[in-house]
Structure 1
Amino acid sequence: MTIEIILFIASILFGIVLYWRESKSNKVYSFFNKLFYSEELQMKPGSKKGFLYQQSFLMRLVYIGVLFLLGIVIIRFIIPIDVYTIQLFIASISGTLVGTYLANFVFKSSEVLDEKSDSFVDVVKDTVEKGKDFIKDLETKDTEAIEEAKKEIKEPEAPKKSARQRLKDKGHL
């Protein structure tokens, strides 16, 4: 089980490296494209599409499966020991697929951050300015509320005389 986990993690890293390498240059894919397709069906010279880069899930799965199948056949001839071949094959394919999608996520997020970096700075500045205005409003509202409270509290008036005291003052009692 640990061999599969180690191979899975290693193949995630392998998938990231493959995707990154192919995003920089797709010479191998364009070579095979020129080899297999006629002039009308060949990809355009400026296209960045590769075996993994800008491909759909199914085509990535096919290309990765063929790559690892060739690798396993070569390894079987070099080392004729039968070690969990199927489990290792599945772990390596799934790890490489996960690695390519992880690399795709990183590339897309970095592109979005590069495009939106100026607007992020503007948004942060606007937010800071709004925060300052909000704090100033709170300070003025606080001082206004304190002044209103002082007016309402006023100095305590002399205690009012009771009805009995008033009657005594008038001489009725």
Structure 2
Amino acid sequence: MGLGIDIIIFVSAILVGIFIYWRESNGNGAYRFINKMMNSKELQMSADNPKGFVYKQSFIPRLLFVVISLLVIGLILQFLTPIKVFTNFYGLSGLATFATGTIIGTYLANFVIKTTKVVEEKSDSIGDLLGDAVEKGKDLIEDLKPATTEEIEEVKEDIQPEPEPEVEKKSARDRLKDKGLM
């Protein structure tokens, strides 16, 4: 088992993480059920709280959920199938790679979902910004078009500097005399 299988496991885990996060963003029934079973009525989460096992969780609870879930799946694989997860290096390496990929996948899904919401909220202003950019681009193209000879003459007249008034300049000898050096 080499690096190739680790890459396949890692990419698969990212996809699993994205799927888990997406499913929990649409509904948190399992989290709400466990919350209802474990907590008293006063401590239970409110009905409008969207938090799940990985959705809207900080890093540590998300990491704990992923690792504990993978350990349970690893134990099931270890004892019920011929796949030995915990008895060799490759199994542990695959488990660690899968956990890392799943965490990265959840954060990647979080980024995509937040970006989609921002784009949906700002879609009208993005259209306005795009229209302004098009108008500015048209003005820029007009500025870059070759000018006619009349326009060139007008620009030359505007650019010609006014002559500076000449100030009487003293010679070097007079300046030295003024300083008392001569």
Larger relative contact order (C-alpha < 8 A, sep ≥ 6)? 1
CA pair 92-138 structure 1, distance change in 2 beyond 3 A? closer
Name whichever structure is richer in helix by fraction: 1
When normalised by structure 2's length, the TM-score is 0.74
Structure 2 spans left out of the alignment, 5+ residues:
158-182
- Structure 2 counterparts to residues 49-68 of structure 1, below 5 A: 49-68=51-70
Task: Work out the percentage of aligned pairs sharing the same amino acid.
Answer: 47
Q: Give 1 or 2 for the bigger CA radius of gyration.
A: 1
Cα distance in 2, alignment partners of residues 47 and 87 from structure 1: 36
**Which AA in structure 2 matches 1:75?**
L
Q: Distance in 2 between matches of 1:149 and 1:15?
A: 63
Query: Over aligned residues, Cα RMSD in angstroms?
Result: 2.2
Q: 1:60-79, aligned counterparts within 5 Å?
A: 60-79=62-81
Instruction: Quote how far apart the aligned CAs of 1:108 are.
Output: 0.7
Pick one of 35, 38, 55 that aligns with 2:37.
35
Q: TM-score, normalised by structure 1?
A: 0.78
Match for residue 105 of structure 1 among 104, 111, 115: 111
Q: Whole-Å Cα distance in 1 between the matches of residues 156 and 12 of structure 2?
A: 72
Give 1:20 shift: 0.6
Residues 1:94 and 2:64 are matched in the alignment: no
Q: What is the CA–CA distance in structure 2 between the aligned matches of 1:150 and 1:118, rounded to whole Å?
A: 44
- Aligned pair in 2 of structure 1 residues 70, 149: CA closer, same or farther (>3 Å)? closer
In the superposition, relative to structure 1, how do residues 136 and 32 fare at CA in structure 2: closer, same or farther (>3 Å)? same
